[in-house]
Amino acid sequence: MEEHREIIEGVMRSQGYTEEEAEVAYHLVQAENLLMDVYQRTFESESEPNPKTRGSEFRMSQVEPHFRALFALLDRRVLKRHYPEKWWRPGDPEGETRPD
């Protein structure tokens, strides 16, 4: 993991993640890229008429939404940690923070 330490520390500084969250983010990026490499090779080997276009469409419709959702989970943790007073129940007149 030491070879990726600079990247992880940069993510920690820029995104406000803890070390563990930054490692998760790093691995999510790596997993998304590897998954798309696998599919891109599949599109190219199946003699798709436009493998790059097919890969881009597939990534936008089938892969990115899931990874965006996972990143949103991480970002929500950071926001709750930095702004706990903003996490209230809709319709709660007291504006209390949500228990976790």
pLDDT digits (tens, 9 = 90+) for 15-58: 999 999 999 999 999 999 999 988 888 888 887 788 788 888 88
In a domain, residue 90? The reply is no
Instruction: Name 77's Cβ contacts closer than 8 Å, sequence gap at least 6.
Output: 21
Q: Name the pTM for this structure.
A: 0.75
Q: Note the pLDDT of residue 54.
A: 82
Q: Is the CA virtual torsion 29, 34, 38, 43 positive or negative?
A: positive
Rounded distance between C-alpha atoms, residue 90 and residue 68, angstroms: 24
Query: Number of structural domains, the chain?
Result: 1
Residue whose tokens read 């890969």: 55
In a domain, residue 18? The reply is yes
Whether 33 contacts 40, CB under 8 Å = no
| Mean pLDDT along residues 2-17 | 91
Q: How confident is the model at residue 88 (pLDDT cuts 50, 70, 90)?
A: low
Structural domain including 31 reads: 2-84
Residue 89, pLDDT > 90, answer no
What counts of helices (H) and strands (E) characterise the chain?
Answer: 4, 0
In a domain, residue 17? The reply is yes
